[in-house]
Chain A
């Protein structure tokens, strides 16, 4: 009997195997691209060759049957070549222009919207939420579905002042670029963790648990004879970091968990430098299955932006021009104590000029 050598560290397959022949021939030779209509791009090479792209929205959380369905379409129209974008859109790569409309027809009849290009809302980058995460303060897939239903027409058209990027993260760990999106929907906990001292004794290392806290809120303590920890509630900002290190400190609290909304971030260097998102709404209670308060709030911000921003202004650039007071004014959002930073670099955000619009 021969035992097969166990293969490790082979790495991913070489991407060259997966490139459409036209892409392979024109690799590095692309000259320009045009958007033919929402969700449809053509890239033209120095050699004169073209490749067409049809971009479809995907829920990201998909079954193998869904993937096989899009494979059938890619076999039929794209010689079996496709890719995915950094925002989880599906991109069908076509050699033949004539195939664009039939493909879009079949995508639409399979429930997949085509769009997300240029001055549109692209797909929402998001995290696992209640579907699969241990520290989630909300669900992600459901929120995305509810918000995209509401903003669907902004995906399939290109009528916004500029591109608009939305992201959802189900807790402060932010698996995704939530902190630099035009609009960020962030799940938050609002109460310190509950400590199960009996379980902590067996599951967690006290020193590691203490050092996991960014604000040094966790101290060693003996509780009913057990070597455990206690949390200084005044210092805790509910990040859940300790829970990741020590499962005996669950932080989820249905009564207090919910959503915060942030605006004005970007990662691109175009025109202005990359920027973080800033707080717009400190708390909205979780209201599954469709989170109407969240979808309403996001839609309001999008619509006010669409109405007031100038061409090529991202949300953050628009707010920089009009000023934050005007942003709160136009959106009707309440400015509260929570909007004023009181953590480490708080002072950098205070207004230190008399340049104020009256």
Chain B
């Protein structure tokens, strides 16, 4: 059986992906999971692992949820409307 990938590793890979595509593509949580399974192989990463890894990232505040007609995963930043309201 293939070695399982730790939640931390999955988390790091997710973060890297979101960071790399910031401004180009907003990933949906499910898409990010599918990317991880593609990257590590379905024998090493399950959907449930991806959900857990994402939950840890969200709880730590390194990633946040965004919403524009559908939920996306994003790196915390001050977006347009908030910037105009003086948020930092």
A residues contacting B by CB (< 8 A) are: 199, 202-203, 205, 207-208, 212, 241, 244-247
CB under 8 Å from chain A, chain B span 25-50: 25-26
Whether the Cβ atoms of B25 and A205 lie closer than 8 Å is yes
Interface SS majority for chain B: loop
**Minimum Cβ distance to chain A for residue B27 (Å):** 11
CB under 8 Å from chain A, chain B span 12-36: 24-26
**Minimum Cβ distance to chain B for residue A226 (Å):** 14
Whether the Cβ atoms of A247 and B69 lie closer than 8 Å is no
Whether the Cβ atoms of B69 and A241 lie closer than 8 Å is yes
Bound together, the chains give a CA A212 to CA B68 distance in angstroms of 11
Whether the Cβ atoms of B68 and A244 lie closer than 8 Å is yes
Q: Is B80 an interface residue (CB 8 A)?
A: yes
With contact pairs A205-B24, A205-B25, A205-B26 given, residues A199 and B69 touching in the complex (Cβ less than 8 Å): no
Q: Is B2 an interface residue (CB 8 A)?
A: no
Residues of A within 8 A of B1 (CB): none
In the A-B complex, list the 3 residue pairs whose CB atoms are closest, starting with the nearest: A244-B69, A245-B69, A245-B68
Nearest residue in B to A204 (C-beta to C-beta)? B68
Q: Is B85 an interface residue (CB 8 A)?
A: no
Kindly count the residue-residue contacts between A and B in the assembled complex, taking CB atoms under 8 Å apart: 21
Whether the Cβ atoms of A212 and B69 lie closer than 8 Å is yes
Whether the Cβ atoms of B81 and A247 lie closer than 8 Å is yes
Bound together, the chains give a CA A199 to CA B68 distance in angstroms of 15
Whether the Cβ atoms of B69 and A202 lie closer than 8 Å is no
Residues of B within 8 A of A205 (CB): 24-26
A-B contacts, 7 listed (Cβ < 8 Å): A207-B25, A208-B26, A212-B69, A244-B68, A245-B69, A245-B70, A247-B68
Nearest residue in B to A8 (C-beta to C-beta)? B59
Residues of A within 8 A of B25 (CB): 205, 207
Residues of A within 8 A of B68 (CB): 208, 244-247
Contact of A202 among B24, B26, B80 (CB under 8 A): B80
Bound together, the chains give a CA A205 to CA B68 distance in angstroms of 11
Bound together, the chains give a CA A202 to CA B24 distance in angstroms of 10
Bound together, the chains give a CA A244 to CA B66 distance in angstroms of 13
Whether the Cβ atoms of B69 and A203 lie closer than 8 Å is no
Bound together, the chains give a CA A282 to CA B80 distance in angstroms of 35
Residues of A within 8 A of B81 (CB): 247
**Minimum Cβ distance to chain B for residue A136 (Å):** 16
Nearest residue in B to A245 (C-beta to C-beta)? B69
Nearest residue in B to A248 (C-beta to C-beta)? B80
Bound together, the chains give a CA A245 to CA B68 distance in angstroms of 5
Bound together, the chains give a CA A199 to CA B81 distance in angstroms of 11
Nearest residue in A to B81 (C-beta to C-beta)? A247
Bound together, the chains give a CA A241 to CA B69 distance in angstroms of 8
**B25, B69, B79, B81 — which one has the most chain A CB atoms within 10 A of its CB?**
B69
Nearest residue in B to A207 (C-beta to C-beta)? B25
